[in-house]
Structure 1
Amino acid sequence: MASSLRIGGLASGMDIDSMVKELMKAERMRLDSLTRKRQILQWQREDYRTINNILRSFRDTVFNMKLQGTFLTRRADSNNESVVKVTAGGSAVDGIYEVKVTQMARGAYLTGGQIGSEENPIDPTRSIASQLELSGEKKLVISGPDGTKKTFTINTDTASINDLVNRINTGLDDNGKTWGVRASYDAVNRRFFLMTKDTGVNQTIEIEDGELAEALKLTGDGVVYSPGQDAKYKLNGVDLTAPSNKVLINGLTLELKGESDIPITVTVSRDTDSIFNVIKGFVEKYNETIDAINKEYYEERYKDYQPLTDAMREELSDKQEEQWEEKARSGMLRFDSMLGSTLNKFRNTMISSIDGIISTEGYNNLSKIGINTASYQERGKLVIDETKLKEAIQKDPDGVMSFFTKSGDTYNEKGLAGRLYDDVTGAINSFITKAGSSDSLVDDSQVGKQIRNIDKSIDTMNEHLQKMEDRYWRQFTAMEKAINQLNQQSAWLAMMFGGM
């Protein structure tokens, strides 16, 4: 605790405050050293965690490369997409298919009779009672597909046709189920239109008789009703039906667009372009990751630029402070052994050969499919011969897949993606042990422990400095008191001798 009484040179005429600050400056050097060391550790921890986040992102890419599904994508081409559009899933079988659409699926439709007249058309924004022979509350009961029913009670004196349409198109049915009927009103044709949201033979619409239904011409003469119907099509000569115009069959998704008298040809094959793009994306992500690690590993370290103390900051402008910290912050992980080990591990994995690959072309390393290590100056990056890679995929797509996805119990038995996934996971775990994780609330890492130990030392040092500063002030205060007493005695003696 600071001394409550400090006398700053009133008797001696000395600048006690400045003298104490100068005395403490030397003592604070040890504290500044601890503070700088703590700041460097914090910067290192941030850089480790930044690299760790980059590795986590890269690991997601590597994980996808372990999956056979990544390499089993198919493409499907239709010779007439205005009739049938097709996409192929991973389970689709390569081959040529014939599809003939004889009937499109559709929902149920109910078109009401005309209301009002050309001379006195119905205004859908005005109240129903003001235009039709109705008044007060009326009910409209609509039965939709699967037995769903919805009852609309409206006050015709205040509600408009637009209000009724909005009511029909929102909410649930009377039993709380999803409502499957949609409505619209055409003011030009002066008709109500009701339709089911979905398609298929089970889609139905029924209107119960009632005053409101009759007034809106939704029952009686003039109403046109079309029931729902299933799609009918032939796949390789086999008659099939579906309640929707989007059909999933044998790994294919068929989007039926229209009817045709002649079969549509659909061709399914391995999507080599997709495989090429996946591998290219993987290489780009690898190079991006290597580049980030290399940047930290080789970043220049300016040892003459140490973290700024509070006293140093007071002497610098904002621009000078920013420039200084940029230098001081640089090179925190220069030639770091963990980064170096990670880089070497990755490079060795990428140039290794994989035994036991099932490949007609002998694709057991990256160079054989057109991927090589770039020049020395690129520090481990990869470069793709796109022509050679595309040829490799065309010749032996299964061999390329096996090279990346081969599974095994041991590291050496695994394919390239499996090995690299283990490498990245090992590096991530090492960095977490060293510097913790940014998404963890508790930092029990090596660097975290070092920072906490320094924090304790800083607290101890601050207490020590405070006691030392108090001691200096007590000593100077005692001196000032003594000088003041001497001055008082001298004044008294002078007064006494002067009066004699």
Structure 2
Amino acid sequence: MAAISSPGLGSGLDVNNLVSQLMAAERKAPTARLDSASTLNDARISALGKITSALDKLQTAAGTLASPNTFQTKTATVSDPSALSVTAARTAAAGSYTVEVSQLARADKLASASFNTAFETVGTGTLTISFGTWNSGSSTFTPNAAKPSTSIVIDATNNTLSGIRDAINAAGAGVTASIVGDGSGQRLVFSGSESGAANGLKISVSDNDGNSTDAGGLSQFAFDPAATAGSGRNLTQTVSAQDAKFKLDGLSLTSSTNLVGSAVSGLTLNLRTVTSSPVTVDIARDDSAAAKAVSGLVDAYNEVVSAVKSASSFDSESKKGGPLIGDASVLSVMGRLRGLMTSSIAGLGGVSSLKAVGVSFQKDGTLSFDSSTLADALSSNADSVARLFGATGKASDSRVSVVVSSSTTKTGNYAVDITTEPAGGLLTGAVTAPGFPLTIDGTNNGLSLLIDGTATGALTLTQGSYASADDLAHELQSRINGASALKTAGAAVTVSWNTDHFEIRSNRYGAASTVSLASGSAATALGLDTGTATAGTDVAGTIGGVAATGSGRILTASGDADGLRLLISGAGTGARGSVDFKRGLGDQLKSLLDDVLADDGTIGRRSSGLSDESARIAKQRTALDDRMTELETRYRTQFTRLDSVMASLKATSDFLTSQLNAMTNSGSSSSSSN
């Protein structure tokens, strides 16, 4: 019997159609369940995504409100903007001022005699550039202790006019050199980098030709206004250094620059020109940034409410609920948000809640905002409004400043007590009483020190007669601070004369601050090499009764005030008042949302769970496909066997039928023949 090569061929059964219908029936119910689960899960993911997006916006709005720059913003209006401009910080007091400018600040400019070319050889030696104040008759020069002197070596590699220019510009001496052609030749022009009478230029020369004041060689660039022209005063002063002079509300003031930030707290004046009449400056509070920030919070919160309502409400007409109806995560977040938004901050007086700044809940759960209420609150107590939203610390002692807090700093009032005041490293010279005027020459002008671990290298004091100990202290400070190694390291010192000895103190605070290893002929002559070196000290004390960690002038709290960093200034130990630290609603809201939206937060975990559910559904689909493939194979095997059996039975049936037919036909034939 021939083998059946196609299902149903032998039996007449439509095996393929039967298997297809059976498989469709098998797939229908589980596929419907998976499709329904997938549709619901996708809807939940989409709804949660919209809620997350709205929460992100609310988080941003909360961060804006937590920033102190959002509140107490000031605007400045100037009656004559061509005369001056004004920038007002948030700390500036509102009010009106009059300004009269009689003189603008200028920087010194000196010009050399004319040279044939920029490549003309000049001479070799050392240029020393110093800054200070010349008296009205230019007969006395008082060094600027805050500006270090700089010595520049001129040798065979840079002794041309252009080479000297490049060497000066590379030295970072506080002077810019340029070559200017004036029609008769090339001049070297020295321009001070900073304006102000205290930044007048003095250029001393040590000329290798043996004469450091004549008009030949490198000494052509010597400039001492007290000297004789052509003999130490060899440059022409084209612009003299001077302070700005102006009146503020009739009070005469001066400034070394035209950018004045010290006249009125919180105001920066940019003087532009001399005025012929008073200029009025009006400072007013600007509430627009605060109103925009609060309005932004309200809008962002309402967007969250809308997204949650859409995702979790029940439609009575369709009898269907949103994809996240009854979702515990969403309900938890909304409960926390509402609880925070209705809370208050103790100790802020009348401005202690959102309602006090015009933000109120409505019947439908959204927020409304009355900008006039906020304006009234800002007008009456802007500081409290700022503290209502931000994380702020308010020190009762002016010698304590709050630098920063951390997310772990708890609300509270923390007493501050200083047990060790901060100090810089100090070198106290041995008692010496050199007579003044004191001459510094080649026998006593060498000095080297170690400042905060950085070596100054060999320093050379300017030779000359010093009228007083203070003059020599200025020279010492200028030379030390002018050391390039110290400039690179950001180190500096203050030098002073104390009764009968010199003192050199590092400007850095803390145990790492040191002044030591004084050596050289000047150190010996001034008693510095046998002086006493005392390392600096870090501030030490307690915050809230708990020992804090000191580093320089910064005291960092632990315990409940953990992360609170205070800048300690002023002298003395003992009680320094207290710091009242509060976390405002904006800061608390941002922290809450940081927690909620984190990967391990409420929304983060829910989102991860929904993603896992999508993965599970996908795995179930794969498993269903595998099971259906196996079942289809089994069905086909069974039907193929049935087909084979039925084909065999059909063959037998056909054979028997043919035999019976044959017998019947044979019997009929016999009867006929009889």
**Aligned mates of 2:625, 2:17 — CA distance in 1:** 19
Partner of 1:473: 636
Offset, 1:61: 1.9
Partner of 2:179: 206
1:79 to 2:79 alignment:
yes
Query: For 1:75-119, what per-residue CA distance to the aligned partner results, in whole angstroms no more than 9, with x for missing partners?
Result: 2222221221222234545555536273377999xxxxxxxxxxx
Q: Which moved more, 1:460-469 or 1:337-346?
A: 337-346
Q: TM-score, normalised by structure 2?
A: 0.46
One-letter code of the match for 2:19?
V
Partner of 1:344: 335
Do the aligned partners of residues 104 and 394 (structure 1) sit closer, same or farther apart at CA in structure 2, a change above 3 Å counting?
same
Offset, 1:471: 0.8
One-letter code of the match for 1:401?
A
**Aligned mates of 2:94, 2:255 — CA distance in 1:** 21
**Aligned mates of 1:287, 1:74 — CA distance in 2:** 30
Matches within 5 A, 1:213-224: 220-221=183-184
Partner of 2:584: 415
Do the aligned partners of residues 252 and 366 (structure 1) sit closer, same or farther apart at CA in structure 2, a change above 3 Å counting?
same
Partner of 1:266: 281
Partner of 2:377: 392
Do the aligned partners of residues 46 and 23 (structure 1) sit closer, same or farther apart at CA in structure 2, a change above 3 Å counting?
same
Matches within 5 A, 1:196-345: 202-206=175-179, 220-221=183-184, 230=195, 233-234=244-245, 236=248, 237-242=252-257, 251-298=266-313, 300=315, 331-345=322-336
CA contact (8 A) 1:99 1:233 kept: no
Find the partner of 2:606 among 429, 434, 438: 434
Partner of 1:325: none
Find the partner of 2:389 among 397, 404, 413: 404
SS of aligned partner of 1:266: strand
One-letter code of the match for 1:205?
S
Query: For 1:160-183, what per-residue CA distance to the aligned partner results, in whole angstroms no more than 9, with x for missing partners?
Result: xxxxxxxxxxxxxxx9x9xxxxxx
Query: For 1:426-472, what per-residue CA distance to the aligned partner results, in whole angstroms no more than 9, with x for missing partners?
Result: 43321112223xxxxxxxxx334444444444333322211111111
Partner of 1:162: none
Query: For 1:306-342, what per-residue CA distance to the aligned partner results, in whole angstroms no more than 9, with x for missing partners?
Result: xxxxxxxxxxxxxxxxxxxxxxxx9221343332333
Greater Rg over alpha carbons, structure: 2
CA contact (8 A) 2:64 2:70 kept: yes
SS of aligned partner of 1:340: helix
SS of aligned partner of 2:82: coil
CA contact (8 A) 1:12 1:483 kept: yes
CA contact (8 A) 1:296 1:334 kept: yes
**Mind listing any 5+ residue stretches in structure 1 that lack a counterpart?**
109-140, 150-174, 178-200, 208-217, 306-329, 437-445
One-letter code of the match for 2:23?
M
Identical aligned pairs, as a percentage?
23
**Aligned mates of 1:418, 1:204 — CA distance in 2:** 52
CA contact (8 A) 1:71 1:401 kept: yes
Partner of 2:627: 464
CA contact (8 A) 1:300 1:334 kept: no
Find the partner of 2:353 among 365, 372, 380: 365
SS of aligned partner of 2:625: helix
Query: For 1:162-206, what per-residue CA distance to the aligned partner results, in whole angstroms no more than 9, with x for missing partners?
Result: xxxxxxxxxxxxx9x9xxxxxxxxxxxxxxxxxxxxxxx945432
**Aligned mates of 1:492, 1:454 — CA distance in 2:** 56
Matches within 5 A, 1:16-55: 16-28=15-27, 29-55=29-55
Partner of 1:102: 103
Offset, 1:15: 3.4
**Aligned mates of 2:108, 2:605 — CA distance in 1:** 61
Partner of 2:89: 89
CA contact (8 A) 1:76 1:87 kept: yes
Do the aligned partners of residues 78 and 57 (structure 1) sit closer, same or farther apart at CA in structure 2, a change above 3 Å counting?
same
**Aligned mates of 2:287, 2:84 — CA distance in 1:** 23
One-letter code of the match for 1:349?
L
Q: Which moved more, 1:84-93 or 1:250-259?
A: 250-259
Offset, 1:383: 1.6
**Aligned mates of 2:254, 2:606 — CA distance in 1:** 65
Do the aligned partners of residues 469 and 255 (structure 1) sit closer, same or farther apart at CA in structure 2, a change above 3 Å counting?
farther
**Aligned mates of 1:364, 1:304 — CA distance in 2:** 43
**Aligned mates of 1:247, 1:413 — CA distance in 2:** 34
SS of aligned partner of 2:256: strand
CA contact (8 A) 2:104 2:244 kept: yes
Do the aligned partners of residues 426 and 450 (structure 1) sit closer, same or farther apart at CA in structure 2, a change above 3 Å counting?
same
Query: For 1:368-398, what per-residue CA distance to the aligned partner results, in whole angstroms no more than 9, with x for missing partners?
Result: 3333223x2xx22222222232222212222
Query: For 1:30-65, what per-residue CA distance to the aligned partner results, in whole angstroms no more than 9, with x for missing partners?
Result: 243134324422432343243223313312321332
Offset, 1:301: 9.8
Query: For 1:196-232, what per-residue CA distance to the aligned partner results, in whole angstroms no more than 9, with x for missing partners?
Result: xxxxx9454326xxxxxxxxxx674499999867485
Bigger fraction of residues in strand: 2
CA contact (8 A) 2:105 2:256 kept: no
**Aligned mates of 2:43, 2:55 — CA distance in 1:** 19
**Aligned mates of 2:339, 2:324 — CA distance in 1:** 22
One-letter code of the match for 1:415?
G
Partner of 1:57: 57
Question: Alignment length, in residue pairs?
Answer: 367
SS of aligned partner of 1:396: helix
One-letter code of the match for 2:352?
N
**Aligned mates of 2:168, 2:654 — CA distance in 1:** 115
CA contact (8 A) 2:15 2:639 kept: yes
**Mind listing any 5+ residue stretches in structure 2 that lack a counterpart?**
110-161, 197-242, 393-408, 413-580, 667-674
Partner of 2:130: none
One-letter code of the match for 1:279?
V
Do the aligned partners of residues 102 and 413 (structure 1) sit closer, same or farther apart at CA in structure 2, a change above 3 Å counting?
closer
Query: For 1:339-380, what per-residue CA distance to the aligned partner results, in whole angstroms no more than 9, with x for missing partners?
Result: 2333333233323333221x3xx2233333333223x2xx22
Find the partner of 1:382 among 352, 367, 383: 367
One-letter code of the match for 1:364?
S
Q: Which moved more, 1:78-87 or 1:333-342?
A: 333-342
SS of aligned partner of 1:393: helix
Q: Which has the higher contact order (CA 8 A, sep 6+)?
A: 1
Q: Which moved more, 1:426-435 or 1:33-42?
A: 33-42
CA contact (8 A) 2:178 2:189 kept: no
Partner of 1:314: none
**Aligned mates of 1:495, 1:142 — CA distance in 2:** 127
RMSD across aligned C-alpha pairs, in angstroms?
Answer: 4.5
CA contact (8 A) 1:297 1:340 kept: no
CA contact (8 A) 1:405 1:415 kept: yes
Do the aligned partners of residues 234 and 334 (structure 1) sit closer, same or farther apart at CA in structure 2, a change above 3 Å counting?
farther
One-letter code of the match for 2:323?
M
**Aligned mates of 2:165, 2:628 — CA distance in 1:** 84
